[in-house]
């Protein structure tokens, strides 16, 4: 009886851990999934949406240098102040056919009364949704802007798809706060995670049960 009880507890604990791993992934120390840098030279268009320098009133994006403090070790794609920038699209191809969860990565200000940073993003033909500091998962690995400790990289899930390629549409978000004079979008890139097939999850779930049954019969 005691051996059966121990087996039952062991199975329950294993199933809980398995459920958390597949249903509730959390990324506080590292980027969740495979990161893809948003770059005008490889995967982000149209080029007509970009300017060669920062102009707050030209209604265009530009590649802002951030040194080594962002993932691609070079720039983020920025829209500033109240610009009405066009929607840009980052396309990722060449994946193994399967089901994937897709994330957008952006920077946001933390705790500054006159500043706010968000992003509007959507997967494929989905409608754009605005995301802010309360919507994504931030990182505790020191990924911060070089001039301040209050600007941090965030990651948020925007949807799932099945196939070998996907496209993420991005736009400049307005401010979510009142009294804000500095509202920007700093877009860094996207990430994707393959979703295991239900059959695979089921096989992994039943494995501890089989092991425990063998132990309990001894």
Q: Check: CB of residue 134 under 8 Å from CB of residue 156.
A: no
Averaged pLDDT for residues 55-63:
87
Averaged pLDDT for residues 192-217:
60
Question: Following DSSP, what letter does each residue of 80-100 receive, concatenated?
Answer: -TT--PPPEEEEE--PPSEEE
- Work out the number of other CB atoms within 10 angstroms of the CB of residue 16: 10
The predicted structure's pLDDT at residue 67: 58
Rounded Cα–Cα distance for residues 214 and 210 (Å): 6
The DSSP code for 61 is B
Distances (CA, A) of 63 to 43, 74, 80, 173, 212: 14, 9, 12, 17, 56
Name the most confidently modeled range: 10-14, 73-77, 93-97.
93-97
| pLDDT confidence tier of residue 213, bands split at 50, 70 and 90 | low
Domain 27-196 CATH superfamily: Galactose-binding domain-like (2.60.120.260)
Domain boundaries in the chain? 27-196
Quick: pLDDT tens for 114-134. Answer: 566 789 999 999 999 988 877
Quick: pLDDT tens for 141-195. Answer: 445 555 555 677 889 999 999 999 999 999 988 655 555 555 788 899 999 999 9
Query: Which is nearest to 208 in space by CA: 22, 12, 20, 19?
Result: 12
For the question of whether the overall pTM of this predicted structure is more than 0.85, the answer is no
């Amino acid at each position: 009886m005691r051996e059966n009880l121990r087996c039952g507890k062991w199975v329950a604990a294993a199933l809980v851990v398995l459920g958390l791993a597949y249903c509730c992934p959390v990324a506080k120390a590292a980027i969740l999934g495979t990161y893809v840098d948003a770059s005008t030279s490889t995967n982000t268009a149209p080029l007509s949406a970009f300017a060669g320098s920062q102009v707050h009133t030209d209604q265009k994006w530009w590649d802002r240098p951030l040194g080594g403090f962002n993932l691609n070790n070079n720039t983020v794609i920025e829209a500033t102040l109240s610009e009405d920038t066009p929607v840009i699209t980052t396309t990722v191809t060449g994946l193994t056919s399967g089901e994937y969860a897709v994330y957008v990565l952006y920077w946001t200000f933390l705790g500054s009364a006159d500043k706010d940073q968000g992003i509007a993003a959507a997967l494929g033909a989905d409608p754009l949704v605005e995301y802010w500091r309360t919507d994504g998962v931030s990182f505790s690995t020191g990924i911060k802007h070089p001039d301040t400790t209050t600007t941090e990289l965030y990651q948020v899930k925007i949807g799932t798809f099945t196939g070998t390629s996907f496209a993420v549409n991005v736009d400049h978000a307005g401010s979510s706060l009142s009294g804000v004079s500095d509202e920007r979008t700093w877009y860094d890139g996207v990430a994707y995670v393959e979703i295991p097939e239900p059959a695979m999850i089921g096989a992994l779930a039943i494995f501890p049960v089989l092991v425990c049954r063998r132990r309990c019969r001894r």
